[in-house]
Chains A and B, each alone.
Chain A
Amino acid sequence: AQKVTQAQTEISVVEKEDVTLDCVYETRDTTYYLFWYKQPPSGELVFLIRRNSFDEQNEISGRYSWNFQKSTSSFNFTITASQVVDSAVYFCALSANTGANSKLTFGKGITLSVRP
Chain B
Amino acid sequence: EAGVVQSPRYKIIEKKQPVAFWCNPISGHNTLYWYRQNLGQGPELLIRYENEEAVDDSQLPKDRFSAERLKGVDSTLKIQPAELGDSAVYLCASSAGTSGRTRSKNIQYFGAGTRLSVL
Contacts and interface: CB of A to CB of B under 8 A. Distances in A.
Interface of A: 4, 33, 35, 37, 42-47, 50, 91, 93, 95, 97, 99-104, 106-109
B111 to A, nearest CB: 7
A45 B107 CA distance: 12
A43 to B, nearest CB: 5
Nearest to B104: A50
A102 B113 contact: no
* Majority secondary structure, B binding face: strand
A106 B110 contact: no
Nearest to B44: A106
B33 interface: yes
A105 B89 CA distance: 16
B109 interface: yes
B4 to A, nearest CB: 9
A91 B112 contact: no
A95 B98 CA distance: 11
Interface of B: 31, 33, 35, 40-45, 48, 55-56, 89, 91, 93, 95, 98-99, 106-113, 115
A98 to B, nearest CB: 8
* Majority secondary structure, A binding face: mixed
A108 B40 contact: yes
A91 B42 contact: yes
A97 B106 contact: yes
A102 B106 contact: yes
A15 to B, nearest CB: 25
15 contacts: A35-B107, A45-B110, A47-B108, A50-B107, A91-B43, A99-B98, A99-B99, A100-B55, A103-B33, A103-B45, A104-B35, A104-B45, A104-B108, A106-B42, A108-B41
Contacts of B98: 99, 102
Contact of A43 (B35, B56, B113): B113
B110 A100 contact: no
Contacts of A101: 56
A43 B20 CA distance: 19
B110 A93 contact: no
A101 B113 CA distance: 23
